[in-house]
Amino acid sequence: MPKSMETIFARATGVGKSAITIIRISGPLALKAIRYFLSNSSILTPRIAVLKDLFWEGQRLDRAIIIYFEKNKSFTGEETVEVHLHGSVAVVDHFLSALNSIHGLKPAGPGDFTRQSLYNGRMDLTEVEGLVGLINSETMQQKVQAEKLFYGDFSKIVKGWRHKLLNIKANLEAAIDFVEEDININFQRDVEDNLKTVINEISKEISGSVYSEKISRGFEVAIVGMPNVGKSTLLNHLVGDEASIVSDLPGTTRDVIERRVNFDGHLVSLFDCAGIRKTSNSIEKIGVMKAQDRANKSDLRVFLVEDPSRIHLEGVVKKETDITIISKIDKKARFDEFLGVSGKTGEGVKELVSQITSHLKAFSEKSGSACNNRHRNAMEKAVESLKQAKLVMFRSNDALEFVLEDIRQALLCLEDLIGKIDIEDVYTEIFSKFCIGK
């Protein structure tokens, strides 16, 4: 990590005309930089908003609100100045151009302010990831999921695991210091039990991370069925748009069509799959194969059928969560045990959305705080090391050094998880997802 920070600047609000545009300056030269625009008598009191006239090259640039934050008391941990300008394109461009001409200042790149916050210990890596998720969240569930990281819930869990492992490590080191004495059988059992507890806790979080990731990226729901049962009409009604071509000709949909919708706070990718049937048409065969693949990979499937006795689809593995509904209910008799829908009239669609949402809520209840592959990989490596430690402990009391090494490896995985180890490649990947100004 850098010994000293550069002084960076960028807008913290959107581009274009607005009532107010906020420019953030952060770094060791922030206060010095803003003084170039103020009269010599101007005094800035930390955390007090003041209205000041800004001048550049002898001309009034704007009348702005300025807020100064001391080092270690700002978002970035660096000396920071926020300038609230009038949102005129001319005013903002003039101010940014002036800042760019000051020696020692540079325009911020994506995530540079948050990077400063990380380097100064104001945030850990999982909190940074939470901030990315919070900024990019499209639904309430994504917001809630991101907040588990941003507000430090996951960090507290990881630090709890770390604390337990450090206690185990300390007891083992004490035992090694008195290696000439026999290891008490109760001591061995206590270590194994404590390792088992941590393993179970991390494993539970690993399982929950699969569902958390689904919330973050959106759940995948496939509409599947035989050709010409009304899948495209239903999708169009669900998304309120003519996303799919509707025709009485079987096999009209040859590819998988995707549309994203918000169902009660859950981001959902709806897939209209090609009709699944045996066919000699080479082009249609490709569409059927894509439909089968998408159906088997989706989190939830809606089986749209005309005859409830013909639910099975070639190449699609049934799941307990599958929803079966009767199509074109406006044209046929109802079946008491099945929900009927009509893509044309909208009958039953509200009830279908309710069923889909119910399943998504059940998935969400299984979610944890960890929510991506990086988290999962680090936790899985930690569990692998701890299982090895437990196995070695069970086999022999003469190999406590090996047990300690396995625990040390697990601790390194946890520190990697929250960013206490310098992992610049991971930082670069995460910060690239930020907007400039954050």
In a domain, 437, yes or no: no
Same domain? 165 vs 110: no
Same domain? 222 vs 211: no
Q: What is the mean pLDDT of the chain?
A: 85
Same domain? 86 vs 201: no
Residue 88 scores a pLDDT above 80? yes
Same domain? 228 vs 355: yes
Q: How far is CA 221 from CA 257, 261, 302, 349, in A?
A: 12, 11, 7, 15
- Number of domains present in the structure of the chain: 3
In a domain, 428, yes or no: no
Q: What is the pLDDT at residue 433? A: 57
In a domain, 430, yes or no: no
Q: What is the pLDDT at residue 334? A: 66
Strand order, beta sheet including 323-326? 257-263, 266-272, 219-224, 300-305, 323-326, 339-340
In a domain, 67, yes or no: yes
Same domain? 201 vs 328: no
Same domain? 277 vs 262: yes
Task: Report the distance separating Cα 276 and Cα 279, nearest Å.
Answer: 9
Q: What is the pLDDT at residue 310? A: 66
The residue range of the domain holding 405 is 139-215+372-419
Treating both helix axes as pointing N-terminal to C-terminal, what angle do 125-136 and 424-431 enclose, rounded to 10 degrees? 20
Sign of CA dihedral 246, 247, 250, 251: negative
pLDDT band at 425, cuts 50/70/90?
Answer: very low
In a domain, 132, yes or no: no
Identify the domain boundary among 124, 152, 167.
Answer: 124
What is the domain-level CATH number for residue 354?
A: 3.40.50.300
Same domain? 338 vs 242: yes
Residue 325 scores a pLDDT above 80? yes
In a domain, 432, yes or no: no
Q: What is the pLDDT at residue 182? A: 54
Q: What is the mean pLDDT of residues 121-136?
A: 91
Q: What's the pLDDT tens digit per position in 12-21? A: 998 888 999 9
Same domain? 181 vs 316: no
What is the domain-level CATH number for residue 19?
A: 3.30.1360.120
Residue 346 scores a pLDDT above 90? no
Poorest-pLDDT segment among 95-104, 185-194, 206-215: 185-194
More confident residue, 47 or 419: 47
pLDDT band at 4, cuts 50/70/90?
Answer: low
Q: What is the pLDDT at residue 99? A: 97
Residue 68 scores a pLDDT above 70? yes
Q: pTM for the whole thing?
A: 0.75
pLDDT band at 24, cuts 50/70/90?
Answer: very high
Task: Report the distance separating Cα 418 and Cα 38, nearest Å.
Answer: 41
In a domain, 129, yes or no: no
Q: What is the pLDDT at residue 244? A: 47
Same domain? 349 vs 338: yes
Poorest-pLDDT segment among 35-49, 239-253, 301-315, 412-426: 239-253
In a domain, 173, yes or no: yes
Same domain? 46 vs 144: no
85 forms bridges with which residues in the sheet? Answer: 21
Is 127 within 8 Å of 149 (Cβ atoms)?
yes
Same domain? 202 vs 232: no
Same domain? 84 vs 185: no
